[in-house]
Structure 1
Amino acid sequence: MLVAHATWHGGALCLWAERTGPYAARPDARDPDVHPFATRDFTGTSYEPLVKGAFRVELTLSLPTHGDHPLPSPECGAEGVVPEELRPWRVPALVLEPFPAMTLLQLAEHSADVVPGSDLRFLCLLADEAMRLAGRGQVLPALVREDGDLVARWRPVPDDPARIADLARAMPAACRAADGGRPAADVLREALSGLVDTVVRGVVPHPLLPPRRGKVPDRVPLSERWVEALTGPDPRVAREPGDDPDDLIAELDAWAAASRRPAGPLRVCFRLIEPGAAEDGSPAGAEHPRDADGGRDDGGQDDDVWRVEFALQGTEDPSLYVPAATVWAGEATSIADAEETLLTGLGRALRLFPDLTPALDSPTPSELLLDTAGAFRFLRQAAPMLAAAGFGVLLPQWAGKAKLGMRLTTRTRDGEDSGAATSSGFDLRSLVDFQWDLAIGDETVDEAELAELARLKTPLVRLRGQWVELDERQLQAALDFLRRPRRGRMTAAEAMRAVVHAGDDALPLIDVDADGAFGDLLSGEADRRLAPLSTPDGLCAELRPYQRRGLAWLVFMNDLGLGAVLADDMGLGKTVSVLSLLVHEREEVRGDGPPGPTLLVVPMSLVGNWQREAARFAPKLRVYVHHGTGRHRDDDLVRAAAQADLVVTTYGTAARDAAMLARVAWERVVCDEAQALKNSGTRQARAIRGIPARTRIALTGTPVENHLTELWSIMEFANPGLLGPRAAFRERFAIPIERDGDEAAAQALRRATRPFVLRRLKTDKAIISDLPEKQEIKVYCNLTAEQASLYQATLDDMLQRIAESDEDKRRGLVLATMARLKQVCNHPAQLLKDGSRLPGRSGKLERLEEICAQVVEQGEKALVFTQYAEFGAMLRPYLAARLERPVLWLHGGTSRRQRDELVRRFQEDDEPAVFLLSLKAAGTGLTLTAANHVVHVDRWWNPAVEDQATDRAFRIGQTKNVQVRKLICVGTLEERIDEMIDRKKALAESVVGAGEDWLTELSVAELREVLRLSPEAVSD
């Protein structure tokens, strides 16, 4: 394992690594100044492809030193060792080119085989800041002198000086340790500027200016050479004799200075209007088409003229829109300085949109006339640049929507598939007839039309009544596509791979039309299209309709030899679905004999649950539990598995015994709570993926908890290689969807995964109509005066320590602050740990007591979850005394036997009314439908985790409406973070990280705002 480090030096990212291992070794006596544990060799790691083009250097870094060797970083276990001095050490390093450097900074924190140090993690944060600034258009072009050269750069225009100051304070010393160290503010400014320049160059088209037509002049103006250098990999401006860049530099510097002044209420806006459109910009009708054949029916009128209308637009209210013609006509008298604002804005825009020059020759410019090629340049080049620079841009509704793409049609060969799914004998080796076509939306494009489009070389064409953007790259991809075989036969497996991996930005896959079983699979609705199977005779339960459809889907996927992800909501019966599959396939034994055993991998807390459920619902299944010190090994394990239908083991045991388990001929491997595999690079995930089986099933209620790469990891278990390498998945899907909300990428991901994922929700009445309602209530509590005083004192002390800490300690201090303030909100005695009395000192405890008393009075039962086992131990005797009846208590130290007894007692006995549970120990794997009340005393701040805990009660078997109460102390961090979570619920069930780790990235100012105590927090 390597720990990767980075410093910003010489305008570039410099990367090196620290070997983990014993630090008792001494430096080489022959060269005592060389860092003894440093390396620049990343061979065999995920970093290797990114550093191939880097050149080698040797840096001198001032590093903490103890004795005669540099201190290891905290990631290598240096905590607790006090450095004696800062001493220069020579370190072998790699200098990365800008684009590989940015890619590395985006991927570094997700590597499974290289640990990023705090310095590299900080630069990853800075890369995110650069992306944010560029994405919001807070960048400006510049011309600067660097080492005697004129260089075109993009510079950031931050809008929050406090955030920049916070970033400078948070910078680890190692980021600026080269050559004796530099001020953090200088390094930050240089690094942020370099990263912003890289980001913009990565998204702005190259070149910005159209190629010159006709004879090239003897001298190209400096401004044009500068614009040319603003894009592409080389920022240097070509020099010519007589160049005088001072005026251009001064003008650009003045522009940057002006951008830092407060913006006014209006901005210049550009609206592209297509030929023949009405005055209001509505689309042209079909009476003036310029179709692929180039014909016109407009009576000779030139319909190749596009208009870019100039206007003023409100910055706060974009619906305020005043055309420039109105301004020059004197009809905008209510707008102060309208003419000056318009002219000034057009002058600024000229730098980004040189085609404006003819329009600005008029003293009252109101529009720019363009031909089709010019309109295309505006769409693809000028519009993104202008929008990024803060100008308003309005485009026709069709812009960026109707695109040329591929359509795949497959037909099952006669006699090979009746469309009856599971009984047809269809599998992935079956042949299907296929045909690839080119299409725009719903319209197929034939070869003659495409050839005519290629001949016209017009980037914007009106094809069958709609305008379409076609650049040279798309046309070339389409022509290449036509040269490939587009009709024939292939196996269903080949067709499946074609669907998953087909398409790119130039020629995407826009539609798939398939019939029969293959069509059922690709539709993503196979469970609805397949005939439901009857409940197996050997299953001691009656399957619900959706479960019978789910069984048909599982059998269908099994027959095809494909892995499946059963992502049913918690409580919809994933356990009985798998058991019904095992029973069904043993009742439907075919000529090749009964299937082999199924290996079931579960969290340790679910072993007993699966044993009980199997004995209850499928008593004829032979079950062997492979766990504990007495478990079978080697040949004994192979024999025990061969004599079983279902082998149950835990994730930990499966990882330790993977080599032995791999000797068994498994029919399938099933992973319950498959989110345990979400970190694909862990030893556990790799070991379980390496156990061979004919098929695989992943069971999870939360296929995406935090990031889309978790979905990749689960899919990689179920169908290895289907979604390609993890890095390619992040580049194609995860980054565009999570960062940019790219709907096209999201649609492509849905198309690639929906055949393999069955996702059903309890709230869908079409799935289950007889499950009671769930009502979620936020219960706001006040602090007592003691709590408020303790809260403020704790906050002041911790924020001071955070502000003075370095990056290595900051994260731990933030988490500690969160924990301490949450404990104060629970009860002062939890923070003080002084064994003091509980009554009368906590508003939250008082409210909890009231809720539990109401539940008892109504003769009902409640689950009470707390994140803290120590607080649960305090609550149990207190609540039992107040309620005058037993309170059950389940936590991480509860043995499996005690756990099972507590569950049985709560479910069957009438006496216990309140079950107190540790969230981490009891948040999954339990059925506690005797309760119809759930109380979350303190928040885990991950909605997926809280929902899993709630689903202990809200699941099949529940006959009453369930009330879920979340206790929140008003005016404290609990209320504000709850509001932040509500705003972040966008990616699947949650985009918030497990626990509170995501909060550590907030600045001190942001932390102060989140954690501050409001006056309304204290009760009278």
Structure 2
Amino acid sequence: MLVLHGVWAGDGVALWAEDSGAVPGGPGPDPSAHPFAVTAAALRAAAAAVDAPGAAAAAERWLRLRLPATAGRPLPSPELGGGPAEGSAELREWRAPALVVRAPDAVRLLAALDGAVAAGPVPGPGLRHLAAVRRFAGRLASAGRLLPVPVDGGPPRWRPVLTGVDARHAAGLVAALRAVGRAHVAADADGRAGRLVFEALGALLDADVRARLGPLAGRLDRAVPAADRDSGRGRRLRDWYRQAHRPRERARLVVRLREPEPADEPGAAEAWRVEFWVRSGDDPSLQLPLRELWLGSGAAWLPDDVEETVLRELHRAARHYPAVRGALRDLAPDGIGMGTGGAYAFVRDVAPRLASAGFDVVLPHWAAGGSALGLKLTVRERPAAGGGSGIGAEELVDFSFEAVLGDTVLDVTELAELARLKQPLARLRGRWVRADPAHLRAALDFLRRRGRGRARREEAVRMAVAAEAAPGLPVAEVDADGELGALLSGAAERRLAPMRTPDGFDGTLRPYQERGAAWLRFLGGLGLGAILADDMGLGKTVQLLAVLADERAERTPGPTLLVCPVSLVGNWQREAAKFTPKLRVHVHHGPDRPHGNALARLLGETDLVVTTYGVVLRDAGELAAMPWHRVVCDEAQAVKNSDARQTRAVRALPAEARIALTGTPVENDLDELWSIMEFANPGLLGPAAAFRRGIADRVERDADSPDGRAGAALLRRLTGPFILRRVKTDRSIISDLPEKQEMRTWCTLTPEQAQLYKATVDDMTERLGDAEGMRRKGLVLATMARLKQICNHPAQFLGDGSALAGRSGKLDRLEGLLAEALAQGDRALCFTQYTAFGDRLAPYLAARLGREVLWLHGGTPRPRREEMMRRFQEADEPMVFLLSLKAAGTGLNLTAANHVVHIDRWWNPAVEDQATDRAFRIGQRRDVQVRKLICVGTLEERVDEMIERKRALAGSVVGTGEEWLTELSTADLREVLRLAPEAVAG
């Protein structure tokens, strides 16, 4: 990470920067040089990243900075993880390269920083403070609170007039200036802050005003000699400026739809009218109908040219609403008359076009929100036979539907009358309503067919959360009582009494685990499936075991089948033995597992059966014939591919209740969420194709559009009652977990890497000329894989077993990071996706670091795997653990590490997050530093930027992995894969 600092240097903003990846060496030729400061060339690149005007031509300068230091080195800024200066810290002078951006360009630079994207350099506190000063200067210039001040031998300078609230704001800016913003001045601290702030404010205000005046600023400077600039002339010049920069827009056209008055005679035509009004550009509350304007009625706020303005605007409106042309034939146009059909067309088609063109459109309140016809579902629980609680999926509930229009409930008679009229606009109970005639007929037909009845609990839930009860008829409101009401209102998790630590459970549940276990028990009692999507490390295993112990304290409901990856079988055995020693556990795995009658007899004496996805696939028919009380999928992303044979086999297992445990319910796209939900609650989201077409495409296509936001809200409503997700960074959930600091560490290529990289891209470009279809996709993906290997190390790409030392910028940076961590007595996890590279990397790092490097991959036997985990956790010395990303993404607790390094990026951030959570989980006592090594100027940097823009969907969706790259044009591909000049060291 790069932090961009800024200080006011008298005539402009002096920029300097710190790099989080910098590893200072010993004393150099200039011991006062700041060891973390970047070079002037790197500084220009950082400024270019935020489109800083004038950065290319900015003068270079060496700044002298007084900064806190300890042990002969400056403390990193807080943005780089530096803490407050400790007792041993002292102020010391350092020199750093800087670029000075003059005041006119500085105004635009600071404005650009306000809109900078997160992927760019991080602005430091001094630069953020200067941006606040720039905003204040802009407000003063807009309000005309300024005066020109004479300057000997030069043009006047515009300076602020600070009184009242402006003076208090300026004093606040002085108080807010932190030490780093005045570190380059060698005066006393009290006076320095005020002088710096007012110098910067005056210079930025002058530059802002001159930019607004344009060429006129120079003419004014020449026209008013310095000797004649007395206070009277200055005030007159200020008054001229205020008058010249008053808002130009003194009047605006308003288009307003007026409802007709009730007709005197039944059946008379309704007279709707679009009226033209004019309103003040400064005060929107001042409005006047054009009818009165043409009659000579006016007001003080109307400008002299108001008639010309509104006629010009009416002609512009006619381009979007042709009916205005007819009104313009009148001498005094004031509106357009129409019938009910015309009014509906205006609301549906014309009003959106006029609003998009910049006109003010005023609609009745019923029209602004669109059609609101929907259904209200009422569900009432029936008393259980014998006075019991009635909890269970088999219990019946009473349900009824009613039509609702906005906030009005319609009876069948009213609905039938509206449907008979076949009008999109109609009067109902004395007011106008809007509803599609086809939807009215559909609602009437639905209520006559299925207006009320009885249903099982799970069927009632599906009706309540369905997107539509019938085509075009959403379930707009649900009124349910009892447990169903708590579930459907979203209040179940809050209202449920937390599960107290049950008998037979050896341990203490945290408060959020008590609530999670109670929620699992609650949904299971309703016969509904649950997705427990807590972050990795929050204890999903413990919550499930607590539920099993709790229900077996009262009765023996039957066996629970738990399906998990083979790497987690031993973990479930150990956790069950630790927390629920009375639970009867059977591991159904291996060649000696029982079958047929032997398995059936065993289930009668077992509470929990632990098996693997592979066994379920092989023994699908036999396991589907067993009487399971509950089926649980751990690491449920294993069933994210709905068409896979493994997924179909798991979904075919019958059970009274189902639970999916996963820290990442969505890894790549929303089809995965559908697949997991289809396991937990079959049929809830409808068929996969309809879900993709109706919801997923809307959300993934443009999450920030109104349609995308509406789709996301609908999806949350459909799935919300069945998904419980808590994250480790939520302090209301868990307050004793330390911080996680994620950062990118930039690496450069060696000349050998750069040569191989360029040759590979050139080869791909040449071969793409005649490649199409799958051949083209295969070529692109193969090239990507080669480039990623080159970024790691030439020897990995060449596969020739050649030496590793001195040939890879990324490997050099990795060595430096690990050496620093070991020197501090820390332990580190390193993840790579390449097993063959790890085989060479582990002994190389061990030799370079002088310590054993543990190496775990998919081929590591389970006993060896568990021995390495134990050694790493229990060692009392610094250690490095190298792990294969795929083999170590789940089932490992490695909280002894407080450093995590991702050597090569996996383009799915959810997979990286799972790996990071091997260290960042319950039991971790120290802050965890997570570094992702990225070769600057290469494919790694460009794809990283694109992935960061795709993280918004469900917190971790990145489209469809790498497939999107294969669809780019050849020119786009070359741009993505090209080698930037800054990528090569030296």
Deviation at 1:817, TM superposition (A): 1.1
- Alpha-carbon distance in 2 for matches of 1:780, 1:294: 75
Residue type of the alignment partner of 2:424: P
Query: Is it true that 1:652 corresponds to 2:614 in the alignment?
Result: yes
Aligned to 1:671: 633
Aligned to 1:724: 686
Query: Could you tell me which of 417, 430, 440 is aligned with 1:475?
Result: 440
1:787, 1:828 within 8 Å by CA — same for their partners in 2? yes
- Alpha-carbon distance in 1 for matches of 2:432, 2:981: 59
**Alignment partner of 2:445: what SS?**
helix
2:457, 2:526 within 8 Å by CA — same for their partners in 1? no
**Alignment partner of 1:628: what SS?**
coil
Query: Could you tell me which of 723, 728, 753 is aligned with 1:762?
Result: 728
Residue type of the alignment partner of 2:521: V
1:290, 1:461 within 8 Å by CA — same for their partners in 2? no
The 5 A counterparts of 1:652-801 are 652-739=614-701, 741-801=707-767
Aligned to 1:531: 497
Query: Could you tell me which of 592, 599, 621 is aligned with 2:583?
Result: 621
1:417, 1:426 within 8 Å by CA — same for their partners in 2? no
Query: Is it true that 1:595 corresponds to 2:557 in the alignment?
Result: yes
- Alpha-carbon distance in 1 for matches of 2:879, 2:324: 76
- Alpha-carbon distance in 2 for matches of 1:675, 1:556: 24
1:310, 1:367 within 8 Å by CA — same for their partners in 2? no
Deviation at 1:650, TM superposition (A): 1.1
**Alignment partner of 1:776: what SS?**
strand
Seq. identity, %: 60
**TM-score normalised according to structure 2 size:** 0.65
Query: Is it true that 1:522 corresponds to 2:491 in the alignment?
Result: no
Q: 1:832 to 1:360 in 2, by over 3 A?
A: farther
Query: Could you tell me which of 810, 827, 839 is aligned with 2:776?
Result: 810
Query: Could you tell me which of 916, 922, 928 is aligned with 2:888?
Result: 922
**Considering only aligned residues, what root-mean-square deviation do their CA atoms show, in Å?**
3.9
Deviation at 1:450, TM superposition (A): 4.9
Aligned to 2:859: 893
Q: 1:456 to 1:1002 in 2, by over 3 A?
A: same
Residue type of the alignment partner of 1:936: H
Aligned to 2:831: 865
Query: Is it true that 1:377 corresponds to 2:342 in the alignment?
Result: no
The CA deviation string for residues 466-511 of structure 1, in whole angstroms up to 9 with x for no partner, is 9753221233234435545645655434422321444355322111
**Alignment partner of 2:872: what SS?**
helix
Residue type of the alignment partner of 1:377: A
- Alpha-carbon distance in 2 for matches of 1:509, 1:404: 10
Structure with higher Rg: it is 2
Residue type of the alignment partner of 1:696: R
Deviation at 1:771, TM superposition (A): 1.7
2:740, 2:928 within 8 Å by CA — same for their partners in 1? yes
- Alpha-carbon distance in 2 for matches of 1:886, 1:691: 46
Aligned to 1:571: 537
Deviation at 1:885, TM superposition (A): 1.1
Aligned to 1:412: 381
The CA deviation string for residues 336-384 of structure 1, in whole angstroms up to 9 with x for no partner, is xx98x9979966x6xxx77677458689999866544223224435678
The CA deviation string for residues 198-234 of structure 1, in whole angstroms up to 9 with x for no partner, is xxxxxxxxxxxxxxxxxxxxxxxxxxxxxxxxxxxxx
- Alpha-carbon distance in 1 for matches of 2:627, 2:612: 19
Q: 1:479 to 1:995 in 2, by over 3 A?
A: closer
Residue type of the alignment partner of 2:374: G
**Alignment partner of 2:934: what SS?**
strand
The CA deviation string for residues 91-134 of structure 1, in whole angstroms up to 9 with x for no partner, is xxxxxxxxxxxxxxxxxxxxxxxxxxxxxxxxxxxxxxxxxxxx
- Alpha-carbon distance in 1 for matches of 2:255, 2:719: 38
2:255, 2:276 within 8 Å by CA — same for their partners in 1? no
Residue type of the alignment partner of 1:403: A
Deviation at 1:613, TM superposition (A): 1.4
The CA deviation string for residues 137-195 of structure 1, in whole angstroms up to 9 with x for no partner, is xxxxxxxxxxxxxxxxxxxxxxxxxxxxxxxxxxxxxxxxxxxxxxxxxxxxxxxxxxx
Residue type of the alignment partner of 1:891: H
Q: 1:343 to 1:499 in 2, by over 3 A?
A: same
The CA deviation string for residues 228-248 of structure 1, in whole angstroms up to 9 with x for no partner, is xxxxxxxxxxxxxxxxxxxxx
**Alignment partner of 1:681: what SS?**
coil
Deviation at 1:920, TM superposition (A): 1.3
The CA deviation string for residues 800-824 of structure 1, in whole angstroms up to 9 with x for no partner, is 2123322231111111111111112
- Alpha-carbon distance in 1 for matches of 2:837, 2:887: 14
- Alpha-carbon distance in 2 for matches of 1:452, 1:310: 40
1:567, 1:703 within 8 Å by CA — same for their partners in 2? yes
2:559, 2:607 within 8 Å by CA — same for their partners in 1? yes
1:417, 1:425 within 8 Å by CA — same for their partners in 2? no
The 5 A counterparts of 1:855-1004 are 855-911=821-877, 913-993=879-959, 995-1004=961-970
Query: Could you tell me which of 494, 513, 522 is aligned with 1:556?
Result: 522
The CA deviation string for residues 661-718 of structure 1, in whole angstroms up to 9 with x for no partner, is 1232211111111111111111111111112222211111111222222222112211
Q: 1:401 to 1:932 in 2, by over 3 A?
A: farther
Query: Is it true that 1:306 corresponds to 2:274 in the alignment?
Result: yes
1:866, 1:938 within 8 Å by CA — same for their partners in 2? yes
- Alpha-carbon distance in 2 for matches of 1:980, 1:332: 51
Residue type of the alignment partner of 1:436: F
2:901, 2:931 within 8 Å by CA — same for their partners in 1? yes
Residue type of the alignment partner of 1:305: R
1:943, 1:989 within 8 Å by CA — same for their partners in 2? no
Q: 1:922 to 1:850 in 2, by over 3 A?
A: same
The CA deviation string for residues 53-75 of structure 1, in whole angstroms up to 9 with x for no partner, is xxxxxxxxxxxxxxxxxxxxxxx
Deviation at 1:544, TM superposition (A): 0.7
Deviation at 1:843, TM superposition (A): 1.9
Aligned to 2:46: none
1:666, 1:694 within 8 Å by CA — same for their partners in 2? yes
Aligned to 1:498: 463
2:504, 2:582 within 8 Å by CA — same for their partners in 1? yes
Residue type of the alignment partner of 1:998: W
Q: 1:384 to 1:705 in 2, by over 3 A?
A: farther
- Alpha-carbon distance in 1 for matches of 2:688, 2:797: 43
- Alpha-carbon distance in 2 for matches of 1:465, 1:931: 71
2:446, 2:470 within 8 Å by CA — same for their partners in 1? no
**TM-score normalised according to structure 1 size:** 0.63
Structure 1: give runs of 5+ residues left out of the alignment: 1-277, 312-322
2:272, 2:337 within 8 Å by CA — same for their partners in 1? no
- Alpha-carbon distance in 2 for matches of 1:458, 1:417: 52
Deviation at 1:400, TM superposition (A): 4.5
Q: 1:743 to 1:996 in 2, by over 3 A?
A: closer
Structure 2: give runs of 5+ residues left out of the alignment: 1-250, 280-289, 295-302
Residue type of the alignment partner of 1:747: A
Residue correspondences, number: 707
The CA deviation string for residues 21-60 of structure 1, in whole angstroms up to 9 with x for no partner, is xxxxxxxxxxxxxxxxxxxxxxxxxxxxxxxxxxxxxxxx
Please, which moves more after superposition, 547-556 or 981-990? 981-990
1:400, 1:469 within 8 Å by CA — same for their partners in 2? no
- Alpha-carbon distance in 1 for matches of 2:752, 2:379: 72
- Alpha-carbon distance in 2 for matches of 1:765, 1:585: 30
1:638, 1:663 within 8 Å by CA — same for their partners in 2? no
Aligned to 1:246: none
1:427, 1:560 within 8 Å by CA — same for their partners in 2? yes
Deviation at 1:656, TM superposition (A): 0.6
Deviation at 1:838, TM superposition (A): 2.2
Query: Is it true that 1:399 corresponds to 2:391 in the alignment?
Result: no
Residue type of the alignment partner of 1:824: I
Residue type of the alignment partner of 1:687: A
1:308, 1:369 within 8 Å by CA — same for their partners in 2? no
